[in-house]
Structure 1
């Protein structure tokens, strides 16, 4: 065994020499805990280096440009030795020697200016060490004339001699072969309370003396850095003592060197017990976030974040948390049980982006939601967008990130159409309101994609039903055209009714407002010229009356035809879906029709009830309008025949009449029969013999 150890460090051996550096390198390669701790140290030091110029202003070069250490003390000692008196010398006795240990050994101070420079230098050197810039700290010591101090900062480095394998080439040797001795001296310096606090902290950070470093650490990241460096030093020291790479006995460790090694979990527990950390714990949630990431405790991180959601989060923290969750999901660290917590965080981020109105972020963050939530949240975002340019931009972004724009636009139209809606039967307001205009404008969401024309018609038909139930006929005249099964049929039914309504309005206006008025007859005893003028006016009136009657006959025919189109609408009747009344189709056709109607009912649960209400309102109304036209134009016989159509089992229009409407219909029918009797016809319009 002893021979193998000798061969390990022998120059003639073919194996790679085992040195302090190689031992520690193997430790880093095989031990995950030490690698994590080193990553934390590098991260904290990088952050400190980034903040160095911004936060640290008390730098040595700002106050002193000399290259002589303790210059004022040196000048004072030289003056005293030559007998020259120095003004404002004071009575305090200064050191009589300028070796590095003189102030501590003699118990005497330096010159006040040198003492001030010394404190400033120590603070600056510690900040460099804290930010991982030990080389810069050594360079600063050299510039300040403290070459010996720069040398002490080299002692912590691991020794490595690559030359035993190839004696003919002399590669540079790195590190300190007497690192154990340096560590003992540095530990004693860090423990010496006579030394300045920052000087103790410098050596404590390099040799693993935790208490010396904690004395100058007042923030969470500094305390964590101190504990992390101490932890790494403990693991490294134990590995070096076990490896026995030295050919001489190592200097024993200090008596107060900790025997129990720290773990990352124990490290954070110790950090959180520090008073300065406890004061900052509730003010900075980022520290908890960083802690759980370092400990790889995803479940605790998500639960803590969920508590923050209930308490309210700052937008920047919410976005940071969202990206952490997305990264953890990307690398497969989110379990199925934790998905609900992640979804709540992502939804909160989407909600916050919607409140800020950031279109790009809303689209992107919505795309990382589960598929079943993407449509719901993006539809909420589009709800209040009315400008055409902004609508197109929002849909373009949604398509870019892979959202289902068709489902989204359909959902947003449905949401707007059903928003703020009350029972249309109990809210009969003929005037168009602002909400009505918003709902009509929402249909435009479905017009950007040509493949959504069918959906546009379905939504338009649903909206038209609601408007017509509320007696908003003019509002319901919006023109949308497309074609597909019962959706098209429903649209054609409503369009047929609106055309009939417009034709009746034209007939009513022509019949009552545009009838030519006869000329006024001249008075008895009028002269010849007045008689001639009256005859000419009467001839003109007769001509206009003939034209009016001709136009009236055309308008009457058009109005009657369109009103009959409503009453005699083919394939089941007006606002009756095709296939529901057809009992002669084969079984497969019935199944297809039933499935189609089921899909429509699932999309519009109130559709069947609304269509029934519309029939009960407008079938009697159309019948009454048709009776008025036929009676007014003295087409009594056809008016009577209208009763046959209403009572016909083929059309079953009588089912749409209530008792009141049916009574009014019979009263008008009675009036028509009286007119027929006056015309020497029976009640049904046939001539009497």
Structure 2
């Protein structure tokens, strides 16, 4: 029968067990089976023959071709000249890439409970499509952390559940209800990401991304340790945080590989010429395709990424897999057949296969024993999962270990053929790689995938190897699996089309369906197909290649409620910073919104050490506003100082920020200036008043801001004085260092300026002195008033007093005279203080001396209004002092001062106030008349 006839012979499902190639050892003429076309039954028969008659190579004693049925372990030993060595070029350099994207992996280990498949994941997972395994989920799911774990898709390994879970899976279920440790451990990610960013230079962006992935993985590992160290019930919030970190880690992995490839390709494009060298090697053609075609290369990166995720979930496999440690293929069926042979009358009525070659169940249309069918189904599920994780070598090893060496051989035929000896010209022959009959093998795999009599996972295995998407999708249980299937087939199809266009394709390949051979797969088409699936997670794969689309997704997510999780915001922020570091054109509004959202989170979480850095990446004016808004809530003095230090290190405009903080707080209320007669005294401070008082501290940390401190404190005190909150104004005044005016002049002189101070600074200093004079006058009056109201009773001399009574009288009289003396002194002091206000030098109280300053209409209005509010009040306070101390003549002289054209104080009085003032003058005149003096207090002349 010809090779093609064997390929399509009915009922014998031909498999191409092409381990390497067919060769004959020259010296001994013994056939060394490295690859041949065999049906499964023939391979099984050959194995039994070799078991009985192993042949030894005379040139190299001890080297035998050995396929032992009893042990079910293949040992294909070759002559030295036939040995196949791994070639560096066999797989694509990105991640051991091959034609179909299956990555060869070293055998690893797993713990497993007897009679149960090993657990694969610790957490349920759902696929996130590129650019972010983390981001796709947000598109259509509720972001409320409380119900995430209720909406997660099952693990890809949930197919292995058969009624019970291992300890690890049970631990995962317990973890969903734990409260504290996991979530608390993840909080340190915020500062760790910033430290990592600052540690790496701008040219080491990919080292930075790898560090991001490592940090996320370490935090996930910490949670695993925490959950195994406690029996406390955990909440789903901890689980969701761990799950987010898991997804974020693999997302950084994808971004790293994709953009590293892009940048390396861009750098090489200018150095390399697009030269296609004719070749008779499938492997060389594939390498040339990957080198020049970015779509194939990056699609393979996506495949490798998805396989690496699956591999991480699977964990480590151990060699001690008890359930598959048996050495007999279909042992239960074999045992039953032996019993029937030994005891033909034992009453076995159920029909079973009578032969044990791999094709027997299909050929005889008879079943295996139930336990063997279950074993096969479980094994096939497991093999598919290994292939899904890119662990084809491990799948082959497991096949051999489980007595199915023939199946291991069927998984070898995908390798592209390459004979380095054709064009090598070397003296020594080099080992040949790959499968010379790959086309026949692939057609067989396709037809097996289409055969409905086979197990669904067995069909899926060969669908993977042959690029049969239709038969592969039914076993894809997660969105992750589906994306892997599409991209795997995309790469397989593009490589096969390249082989056909190169002329190396064989006629057997034409037996594949036209839909496969002529498929026009592109990334856009893959995305369209993925979006058309029934997955509940919408595809955002295109965002990896279209950053503008990613920015739109970010904008949409930021507008949703409830707010995004903190770790998602952190990821989005650092992704934006990564794109900026590459010089990519981004939508600035969205980048700003992402940064602002993350900054708000850091403020909420009180991550004071981190905020300044992220604020520095905002536009300058917005950065000032954002950081000032944050500083409003910082109340402790040391924290304030530290925040300003961090702002300075981050390159922020500290002076503008502190000024903005103060202005924002002092302008927060809408209280207007009002006439003092219409408002009561409000010396009791409020919380808002205290905020305004404390806010001045922001301006006194840096001596260079003393001028601004004066201006802002003056503005706050103006409002307090207008509200008659004198105590609050005093507290603000006390916040300004006493040496501020000297410091301002000193700084000006240090700048080498010989001219006078700027008008704004000079006017601020004068205003500060005006307020000080007013507060001193008000304090002097209060002290005088308190002393006046604490007067002792004036003693009267007792008549015919005893000695003790005289002594007591003298003491009281002395006390009264002391009080009078103190009152006289306080009266003189309060007079002086009030006159300092009323007769303030150089133009009057609250009047600027420099008119060349920049116009500030609000300040001018407030100062003018304060003159109208405070000067009349000072006048009436002085009248009170003079009248209560019987200094009526002095009170009458006050009228001359008010009416003076030099001071023009009468202009600040209202009509009612002038009438009240004149009434006070009348009262003093009447009292003087009662004393026998004239109305002005002079003696009457007779």
Q: Is the 8 A contact 1:157 1:175 kept in 2?
A: yes
Is 2:640 the partner of 1:391? Answer: yes
Q: 1:533/1:124 Cα in 2 relative to 1: closer, same or farther (>3 Å)?
A: closer
Is 2:350 the partner of 1:73? Answer: no
Find the counterpart in structure 1 of residue 356 from structure 2.
Answer: 98
Q: Which moved more, 1:474-483 or 1:489-498?
A: 474-483
Find the counterpart in structure 1 of residue 12 from structure 2.
Answer: none
2:694 corresponds to which of 431, 441, 452: 441
**In 1, Cα distance between equivalents of 2:673 and 2:345:** 104
1:63 match: secondary structure: helix
**In 2, Cα distance between equivalents of 1:91 and 1:273:** 50
Structure with greater contact order relative to length (CA < 8 Å, sep ≥ 6): 2
Query: TM-score, length-normalised on structure 2?
Result: 0.63
Q: 1:136/1:635 Cα in 2 relative to 1: closer, same or farther (>3 Å)?
A: same
Q: Displacement of 1:532 after TM fit? A: 5.9
Find the counterpart in structure 1 of residue 483 from structure 2.
Answer: 224
Q: Displacement of 1:680 after TM fit? A: 6.5
1:252 match: secondary structure: helix
Q: Is the 8 A contact 1:103 1:109 kept in 2?
A: yes
1:311 match: secondary structure: coil
Q: Displacement of 1:79 after TM fit? A: 4.5
Is 2:547 the partner of 1:298? Answer: yes
Q: Is the 8 A contact 2:399 2:407 kept in 1?
A: yes
1:493 match: secondary structure: helix
Deviation per CA, 1:212-256: give whole Å up to 9, x if none: 11110121111111111111111100111121247x766424134
Q: Displacement of 1:536 after TM fit? A: 5.6
Output aligned runs, 1:208-247, within 5 Å: 208-245=467-504
Find the counterpart in structure 2 of residue 374 from structure 1.
Answer: 623
Find the counterpart in structure 2 of residue 46 from structure 1.
Answer: 308
2:583 corresponds to which of 332, 354, 362: 332
**In 2, Cα distance between equivalents of 1:361 and 1:113:** 60
**In 1, Cα distance between equivalents of 2:918 and 2:893:** 12
Q: Which moved more, 1:125-134 or 1:446-455?
A: 446-455
Find the counterpart in structure 1 of residue 571 from structure 2.
Answer: 320
Find the counterpart in structure 2 of residue 587 from structure 1.
Answer: none
**In 2, Cα distance between equivalents of 1:533 and 1:235:** 125
Q: Is the 8 A contact 1:519 1:537 kept in 2?
A: no
Q: Displacement of 1:646 after TM fit? A: 1.4
Q: Is the 8 A contact 1:519 1:541 kept in 2?
A: no
**In 2, Cα distance between equivalents of 1:506 and 1:22:** 101
**In 1, Cα distance between equivalents of 2:795 and 2:493:** 120
Structure number with higher helix proportion: 1
Output aligned runs, 1:246-325, within 5 Å: 251-258=509-516, 259-275=518-534, 277=535, 280-281=536-537, 287-288=539-540, 291-294=541-544, 296-312=545-561, 313-315=563-565, 316-325=567-576
**In 2, Cα distance between equivalents of 1:464 and 1:86:** 113
Q: Is the 8 A contact 2:418 2:432 kept in 1?
A: yes
Output aligned runs, 1:594-609, within 5 Å: 595=854, 598=855, 601=856, 606-609=858-861
1:644 match: secondary structure: helix
Find the counterpart in structure 2 of residue 431 from structure 1.
Answer: 684
**In 1, Cα distance between equivalents of 2:320 and 2:845:** 94
**In 2, Cα distance between equivalents of 1:389 and 1:620:** 43
Q: Displacement of 1:538 after TM fit? A: 5.9
Q: Displacement of 1:373 after TM fit? A: 1.6
Q: 1:38/1:60 Cα in 2 relative to 1: closer, same or farther (>3 Å)?
A: farther
Is 2:675 the partner of 1:415? Answer: no
Find the counterpart in structure 2 of residue 486 from structure 1.
Answer: 763
Q: Displacement of 1:616 after TM fit? A: 1.4
Deviation per CA, 1:48-79: give whole Å up to 9, x if none: 1111139x99x993523113322223333444
Output aligned runs, 1:644-655, within 5 Å: 644-655=896-907
* Larger Rg belongs to: 1
Query: TM-score, length-normalised on structure 1?
Result: 0.85
Deviation per CA, 1:342-366: give whole Å up to 9, x if none: 2223222222333333334544433
Find the counterpart in structure 2 of residue 612 from structure 1.
Answer: 864
Number of residue-to-residue matches in the alignment? 633
Find the counterpart in structure 2 of residue 4 from structure 1.
Answer: none
Q: Which moved more, 1:673-682 or 1:607-616?
A: 673-682
Q: Is the 8 A contact 1:190 1:212 kept in 2?
A: yes
2:847 match: secondary structure: coil
Q: 1:115/1:256 Cα in 2 relative to 1: closer, same or farther (>3 Å)?
A: farther
Q: Is the 8 A contact 1:60 1:124 kept in 2?
A: no
Q: 1:256/1:250 Cα in 2 relative to 1: closer, same or farther (>3 Å)?
A: closer
Q: Which moved more, 1:474-483 or 1:112-121?
A: 474-483
Q: Is the 8 A contact 2:888 2:928 kept in 1?
A: yes
Is 2:404 the partner of 1:146? Answer: yes
**In 2, Cα distance between equivalents of 1:545 and 1:40:** 99
Deviation per CA, 1:355-386: give whole Å up to 9, x if none: 33333454443333222222222222232332
Q: Is the 8 A contact 1:138 1:150 kept in 2?
A: yes
Output aligned runs, 1:539-618, within 5 Å: 543-544=814-815, 547-580=818-851, 590=852, 593=853, 595=854, 598=855, 601=856, 606-618=858-870
Find the counterpart in structure 2 of residue 469 from structure 1.
Answer: 722
Q: Displacement of 1:103 after TM fit? A: 1.9
**In 2, Cα distance between equivalents of 1:538 and 1:394:** 66
Give unpaired runs (5+ residues) of structure 2: 1-276, 742-760
Find the counterpart in structure 2 of residue 583 from structure 1.
Answer: none
Find the counterpart in structure 2 of residue 350 from structure 1.
Answer: 599
Find the counterpart in structure 1 of residue 297 from structure 2.
Answer: 35
1:660 match: secondary structure: helix
Q: Displacement of 1:141 after TM fit? A: 0.8
Q: 1:644/1:184 Cα in 2 relative to 1: closer, same or farther (>3 Å)?
A: same
1:513 match: secondary structure: coil
Q: 1:509/1:272 Cα in 2 relative to 1: closer, same or farther (>3 Å)?
A: closer
**In 2, Cα distance between equivalents of 1:175 and 1:571:** 101
Deviation per CA, 1:283-312: give whole Å up to 9, x if none: xxxx52xx1333x12222222332222222
**In 1, Cα distance between equivalents of 2:823 and 2:425:** 120
**In 2, Cα distance between equivalents of 1:214 and 1:42:** 18
**In 2, Cα distance between equivalents of 1:86 and 1:178:** 49
Q: 1:606/1:46 Cα in 2 relative to 1: closer, same or farther (>3 Å)?
A: same
